[in-house]
Every structure is written in structure tokens, then in C-alpha cells.
Amino acid sequence: MPRQSAASLHFPGVTRTERLSPPPDLSGDARALFISLVSTNPADHFRPSDAPLLIAYVRAILLEREAAEHLATQGHVTVDNRPSAWVGIQTAASKTMLSLARALKLTPTARRPSASRAGKPVTTSYYDQMQLQEGET
């Protein structure tokens, strides 16, 4: 059998998957949470079309945290023996978080390896982290 030339060999191209970057209108805690979520998942987990859902998810998390803080300091019942409005806000934020987590495949069920999907590394390289943080300045 004759030798194959180097030109006839097919080498797969090395393509680098870009991570989703936080939008410029996110600031403070929302931006940090966005970066944390993107960097703790595989690089190809989120696509640009996921950005609105991911932003809504981040905002729902922050709203739920705010509601929890208010309930911890002010209590679940108001002075006139009525439930605090923050109970409803926390409930709605929790439901939103759950539905968005399912849509973004962030639930424990979605992380479970299956026969049809090989496990992907979850680590983020130093360079990816630096690139995400460059957008902060």
C-alpha cells in the first residue's frame, strides 16, 4: 500500500469555543453572578441565544436573595398580622429560578451524565476567567 501524503491527511481544526460574556448593562452583583454561572459550566454549554434567559435567571436569584434578607430582618408577618409582601416576591422569584434553571439545563438532572452525552470538563481556564473579567473594566 502506498504512503499517503501529508496533504491527504485530515486533521481536525482546533476551534476555541468563546464563553458567553456579560452584557454591558449588568453591573455589580448581577455581573459577578453571571460570570460565575458562565465560568462554572463547560464553554459550549451556553449559546448567545441563552443570554436573555441567563440574565433573567441572574435577576431572579438576586431578587430571591433580597426577599430572603427582608424576611429575615422584618419577619414573615407584618404589624397588622398579614403576611409580608416579600413572601409572595420570594415565592415568585423561586418559581422563576426553577423554570429558568430547567430551561438553561442547570438542574441536577441536567448535570447527570447519560449514555448519549459524554461528561464535559467543568473547569474554566485562567485565560477564560481573565477574558470575562476584562469586560468589567
Per-residue pLDDT tens over the stretch 96-124:
999 999 999 998 887 777 655 555 556 77
Q: Is residue 9 part of a domain?
A: no
* Number of structural domains the chain divides into: 1
Instruction: Say if residue 136's pLDDT is above 80.
Output: no
Whether 125 shows a pLDDT value over 70: the answer reads yes
How high is the pLDDT of residue 117?
57
Note whether residue 136 is domain-resident: no
Contact present, 104 and 55 (Cβ < 8 Å): no
Residue 115 is assigned to a structural domain of this protein: no
Burial of 84 (0-12, 13-18, 19+ CB in 10 A): middle
Residue 14 has pLDDT above 70, yes or no: no
The CA distance from 53 to 55, in Å, is 5
| 27-41 average pLDDT score | 93
Q: Domain span at residue 28? A: 23-108
77 is a domain residue: yes
Asked if the structure places residue 129 within a domain, the reply is: no
Q: Residue 119 falls within a domain, yes or no?
A: no
Residue 15 belongs to some domain of the structure: no
Mean pLDDT of 54-59: 97
Give the separation between CA 40 and CA 35, rounded to whole angstroms. Answer: 8
- Indicate whether 114 belongs to any domain: no
